[in-house]
Chains A and B, each alone.
Chain A
């Protein structure tokens, strides 16, 4: 009876999709019916505080963003372990505690290394 919960959650998700799509569709219909689309060049330029946009927006951005993504992957995988460990922690007791102590210390060493390298600091 537990697995069926996923079916219900899926139904809820579908309901959300139907609602959002139908409201977008309805808004489109309203747009078609009541508005005369007058698409001018100025109207469809992107708004950058009144400046004329120069070039494409899809340019390269600072490398710092990439380092945070990398750090995140390392920590998030660890958190999946820690959360599933936390649930059965009472059954594991001492053995589990020593294990996770070791695990978290290794994890913290990673953070300390990143910290000393100065990558967790923005610019």
Chain B
């Protein structure tokens, strides 16, 4: 057989393996997420189906396949049927360029190279992932629009505006890494890290955090899961979907999470490499798995820890914090590379910006809980001044200290006026 035939056979076999592996990973991620979140909330989680609940995903799959598919009377049927499929197509396709290992783990002959542990090493690798994963918004928008449900459409529109806003930051945050790597190929970026002897997290700590935050918003995970906010939109674009079509959306979400974690591991943490320990522990891609598993755990951790943010906060954060910071990061990295400075200059700069950002956030949060910002905004004048409740109420009960605590209530009560005390 010619080399080309070998490559084609290898590509087909690898595609099948990758699809099966991704679906298995999805199925067990649902179990792991439920178990881990249960632990965070001091519960036990699903543990009845088999030891530690390992058959739970199987039970869920059977349940989902046998559930009735309901087509709402108001739905636009063809788009409604296609939307979940589009979501999964897009999620799967983006994974094609993720390298699980180097180009030559099995040897350097042509046939061995055909079996390298990635499906394709495109020279536009990361651009391919960005462009394909930005198509994910289509699945959600079409699902929300075709449901014929007010909440679904609102969830879909929110999702479109959210993904579009954070995508800008994603592109700019990655620009710094690309300047250091000098290539768009995923394999090339890992090799550049090996060649330069650093992981790019060291040179781009700010870029890493900007990308990580924007990626969480891009895959619609908590705390940015506004499109499916259960408490206000029922379930957003998912409301009208049942049975297997619903689980296809879940599948797309988890595969997107795996892809985002892979990008984080590959661009910032050296992908399948680990310095001197390269190739230890047998398989060449063990380090890749460990890194991706860590980031997936962080996704779950954040969901268990952070409350969902408000929509105006989300948009303000995306355009007024993430975007300016990623522009600054790209400019400083460009200056560092142009001046021929060492990687630690941009690393130190990134750390400094991160420290400042966390400090500013902390101070603002403290002022907010102390009620000072709210008082300044409402213009109460001097603290402890007696004002009419009719003017404006503080947004939080925490902002109203107990009147008995500072005696202001007595004088106000004598005059018969209502009191709000700072």
The chain A residues found within 8 Å of chain B, CB to CB, are 2, 4-9, 11-13, 15-17, 19-21, 23-24, 26-28, 30-31, 34-35, 37, 41, 43-49, 53, 56-59, 61, 64-65, 68-69, 71-72, 75-76, 79-80, 82-83, 86-90, 93-94, 96-97, 100-101, 104, 107-108, 111, 114-115, 120-123
Contacts and interface: CB of A to CB of B under 8 A. Distances in A.
Contacts, number: 227
Nearest to A90: B182
Interface string B5-23: 0011001100110110001
Given A8-B11, A20-B88, A53-B150, A46 B74 contact: yes
Interface stretch (B120-128, B265-273, B365-373, B409-417): B120-128
B337 A90 contact: yes
A46 B148 contact: yes
B184 A45 contact: no
B362 to A, nearest CB: 23
A97 B335 contact: yes
Nearest to B113: A1
B106 interface: no
Contact of B96 (A12, A17, A69, A86): A12
A77 B337 CA distance: 24
A86 B315 CA distance: 27
Contacts of A57: 74, 147-150, 152-153
Contacts of A6: 120, 122
B178 interface: yes
A82 B182 contact: no
Contacts of A48: 149-151, 234
Contact of B182 (A9, A28, A87, A107): A87
B204 to A, nearest CB: 12
13 contacts: A12-B15, A24-B81, A30-B66, A37-B68, A48-B150, A48-B234, A61-B153, A83-B174, A87-B178, A90-B179, A111-B323, A122-B311, A123-B312
Contacts of A71: 319
Given A15-B19, A61-B157, A72-B168, A23 B244 contact: yes
B9 to A, nearest CB: 11
A5 B8 CA distance: 10
Nearest to A108: B327
Interface of B: 4, 7-8, 11-12, 15-16, 18-19, 23, 64-66, 68-75, 81, 85, 88-89, 92-93, 95-97, 119-123, 127-128, 145, 147-154, 157, 160-161, 164-165, 167-168, 171-172, 174-176, 178-179, 182-184, 234, 239-240, 243-245, 248, 311-312, 314-316, 319-320, 323-324, 327, 330-331, 334-335, 337-338
A122 B330 CA distance: 26
Q: Which 8 A-B pairs have the closest CB atoms?
A: A79-B171, A5-B120, A16-B92, A97-B338, A122-B312, A120-B319, A86-B178, A46-B149
Contacts of A28: 69
A61 B314 CA distance: 19
Contacts of B71: 44
B401 to A, nearest CB: 30
Contacts of B243: 27, 31
B60 to A, nearest CB: 14
A94 B312 CA distance: 40
Contacts of B8: 11
Given A86-B179, A87-B182, A97-B334, A122 B234 contact: no
B19 A104 contact: no
B167 A72 contact: yes
A89 B182 contact: yes
Contact of A27 (B157, B234, B244): B244
A121 B160 contact: no
Contacts of B23: 19
Q: Which of B11, B174, B184, B311 has the most CB of A within 10 A?
A: B11
Contacts of A82: 171-172, 175, 330
Contacts of A115: 319-320
Contacts of A31: 68-69, 243
A121 B321 CA distance: 12
Contacts of A64: 161
A44 to B, nearest CB: 4
Given A26-B65, A47-B149, A48-B149, A107 B327 contact: yes
